[in-house]
Amino acid sequence: MKITDIFKNTDRTVFSFEIFPPKKTSPLESITGTLFELCAIKPDFISVTYGAGGAMLGNNYTRMLASKIKNEYKIESMAHLTCVYSSKEYVDSELLAFKKEGIENILTLRGDINPEIERLNDFTYASDMARYISQKDSYFDLCGACYPEKHLEAKNLAEDVKHLKLKVDSGVSHLVSQLFFDNSVFYRFLEMADAAGVNVPVEAGIMPCTNKKSIERMVKMCGATLPDKFVKVMEKYEDKPEALRDAGIAYAIDQIVDLLSHGVDGIHLYTMNNPYIARRINEAIRTML
């Protein structure tokens, strides 16, 4: 099923998960237990990331997992696909392979720039690949990434939102946001996007903070602001892993309840491949969706 139709056909908030494939050196089966537990929660869909910096070219884990989720576990899936290191021929071959597996949903991404890898000229931005795919084959439903606090390379949020509008006009029919810890930045972004004519559903990206180091790394990579309340939680429990995990889950639930009361289109949980955390959050919010 196309994710656009999930948004159209439900009167509740869409709830989705994101997972990442195992490293190339590990077998695909190493994620089977995680997948089984996440699928048992029955989210509306699960998206599968694609290795950064062209690292996954030639590695089929993203597609294989998206296929497994859809065809074995009967949960809708979405495959991430980056384009900055891809040729049109490569994208064509991926589309063909997706179609063979019945994978209809693609998160079209540019991908991060790695100065050590030579870029190809077929696609400069995510919108280039979105336009290419949407003009080629209406079989696919395209999603795009958006940044409530602007993309790191963008001059300002207004410019980034202008580019986002281009992405939507290129065939992207729903959006998933970068993680954020301050809901007010998300509401401000939604207002700006709406004013710019971005009129597709936007899912809020929520990452529960359960490990101080990994959150600090992510925040550095994406530039998310850390509200005082959040910093206090991390500082208080940084040396108590279980307490930090519980506090991180509580913070994420608090964020989600506020988002739901503001009528958000969807919640996209960055699960970090941790079913325990996903289960606890699901139990807390399921009746409110």
CB of 250 to ligand FAD, least distance (A): 23
What lies within 8 Å, CB to CB, of 288 at 6+ separation is: 257, 260
Q: Does 49 bind ligand FAD (CB under 6 A)?
A: yes
Report the residue from 68, 80, 131, 245 that binds ligand FAD according to the rule CB under 6 A. 80
What lies within 8 Å, CB to CB, of 141 at 6+ separation is: 2, 3, 4, 5, 104, 105, 106, 173
Taking the least distance from each CB to ligand FAD, the nearer of 186 and 237 is 186
Q: Does 201 bind ligand FAD (CB under 6 A)?
A: no
Q: Does 204 bind ligand FAD (CB under 6 A)?
A: no
167 CB neighbour count, 10 Å cutoff: 25
Q: Does 169 bind ligand FAD (CB under 6 A)?
A: no
Which listed residue (18, 94, 149, 203) is catalytic? Answer: 18
Q: Does 172 bind ligand FAD (CB under 6 A)?
A: no
Tell me the number of residues near ligand FAD by CB under 6 A.
23
What lies within 8 Å, CB to CB, of 253 at 6+ separation is: 281, 284, 285
The beta strands (E) that lie in 180-274 are given as 202-206, 266-270
Q: Does 52 bind ligand FAD (CB under 6 A)?
A: yes
Q: Classify residue 230 by its DSSP letter.
A: H
Diameter of the chain measured on Cα atoms: 53
Taking the least distance from each CB to ligand FAD, the nearer of 49 and 211 is 49
What lies within 8 Å, CB to CB, of 163 at 6+ separation is: 125, 127, 154
Backbone dihedral angles phi then psi of residue 190, each to the nearest 5 degrees: -60, -40
Piece in contact with ligand FAD (CB under 6 A), picked from 44-52, 90-98, 185-193, 235-243? 44-52
Torsion, Cα of 150, 156, 161, 162 (10° steps): -150
Asked whether the beta carbons of 223 and 149 are under 8 A apart, the reply is yes
Q: Does 91 bind ligand FAD (CB under 6 A)?
A: no
> Is residue 89 flagged as an active site residue?
no
Q: Does 77 bind ligand FAD (CB under 6 A)?
A: no
Per-residue binding letters, 98-127, with ligand FAD (x by CB under 6 A): -----------xxxx------------xxx
Per-residue binding letters, 132-151, with ligand FAD (x by CB under 6 A): -------------x-----x
Torsion, Cα of 93, 95, 97, 99 (10° steps): -150
Q: Does 86 bind ligand FAD (CB under 6 A)?
A: no
Write out the residues near ligand FAD by the rule CB under 6 A: 49-50, 52, 80, 82, 109-112, 125-127, 145, 151, 153-154, 160, 163, 166-167, 176, 178, 205
**Residues recognised as catalytic:** 18
